[in-house]
Amino acid sequence: MKEQLSALMDEEVDLDASPHLYAALRKGGEAGQCWATWHLIGDVMRGELPVSEDLHARIMRQLEAEPVVLAPRRRLRDILDSAYAVPMAATAAAVAFVGWMVWQGQGGMDPAYDPAQPSIARNAISPESLNSYMLAHHEYAPSNAMLHTGDVRTVIYTEPGN
């Protein structure tokens, strides 16, 4: 109702098109009080009504009379109990773990390793052993595509000139 009254004050709603607003204003009550208060505020803001000289002093006295709320400082324990402590600790642990893994991987490198040389498959599976493996385990395959295991060929990629 207050939104509709505000729209009526801003001349965004036609009073003839909204008879329920007219009825609420005639009845008085909360709608009538809002209407009167809002018009009074508007008149004062536009300077159409004089404001008493001691208004500022009265407002300042009321503010000074209000109690001051002092909040204690946050302790370290409160910070640790907050929602940020566990995610921060988990992030630090993950970064430390990844760093440790990289550090361990760099220390244990094979001195004969040369990234420029292509690697050679040392444990190449022969086509016969692959076919026998696939025949022995075809029942675990998700489809009947393994019936033609004789069509499977092992392909080994080598660099040209090797």
pLDDT tens-digit readout, 113-147 = 566 665 555 556 777 888 888 888 877 776 655 45
* 35-56 residue pLDDT tens: 888 888 888 878 787 777 777 7
Q: How far apart are CA 109 and CA 113, in angstroms?
A: 8
Range in 48-52, 67-71, 75-79 with the lowest mean pLDDT: 75-79
Q: How far apart are CA 50 and CA 54, in angstroms?
A: 12
pTM: 0.33
pLDDT at position 96 is 94
pLDDT band at 98 (very low <50, low <70, confident <90, very high): very high
Residue 117 backbone zone (phi > 0: left; psi -120 to 50: alpha; other: beta): beta
Residue with tokens 């040392």, as numbered in its chain:
122
* 101-116 residue pLDDT tens: 888 877 655 555 566 6
Q: What is the DSSP letter of 149?
A: G
